Amino acid sequence: MPAIPNLTAPLGDEQISLRLSAERDIPEILLAYEDDPHMHERLGEERPPSGAELGHRSERAELDRAGGRYVELTIVERGADDCIGQVRLHGIDWSHERAELGIWLAPQARGRGLAQRALRLACRWLFESCGIERAQIVTEPDNEPMRRAARGAGFVEEGLLRGYTRERGRRLDCVILSLLPSDLRS
């Protein structure tokens, strides 16, 4: 399994930057979960993570990246270093050169088009540096903010996956959206 390349310099545009997640992000992450009591549900989690769980995730981040399994990119506003969200790269299938992305933004950062910018930056890096040929997002049909951000970043909605996942003790339908390298060029 290939390693996910190390991000040696932040990815950025005129409004945001993406950098590898770090332990220093934990306080802002905990605040975001506190400010949005339903965020963990949208992220498919049973409950918000504790500071200790986030610390453990941070401790194993380099092994997950080097093992080609998972990476979190922290979203910061240009010229700042406070975490306002994250892009999560997971569900990597190296033999088929595809990966799934998830994203969250702190409530105060929403509604400004930052999610679509972050998705576009992360996907460009996936395609150009990681050898991924398909990025996909799987979300609940009623998660219109995620669907809107993904479409704004160039993702194409492919359809409904009925009873696709089991979360919080029930089966959920999901919508799948995808992005190919050619979608970023158009």
Could you tell me what percent of the chain has a pLDDT over 70? 99
* Type of residue found at 82: D
**What pLDDT digit, counting tens, does each position of 167-178 carry?**
878 899 999 999
Instruction: Tell me which of 3.30.70.1400, 3.40.50.261, 3.40.50.300, 3.40.630.30 is the CATH number of domain 11-133.
Output: 3.40.630.30
Q: Which of the pair, 19 or 184, is modelled with greater confidence?
A: 19
Contacts of 21 (CB under 8 A, 6+ apart): 58, 61, 71, 72, 73, 74, 83, 86
Domain map of the chain by residue range? 11-133
Q: Which of the pair, 72 or 169, is modelled with greater confidence?
A: 72
For the entire predicted model, the pTM comes to 0.94
Cβ–Cβ < 8 Å for 62, 23: no
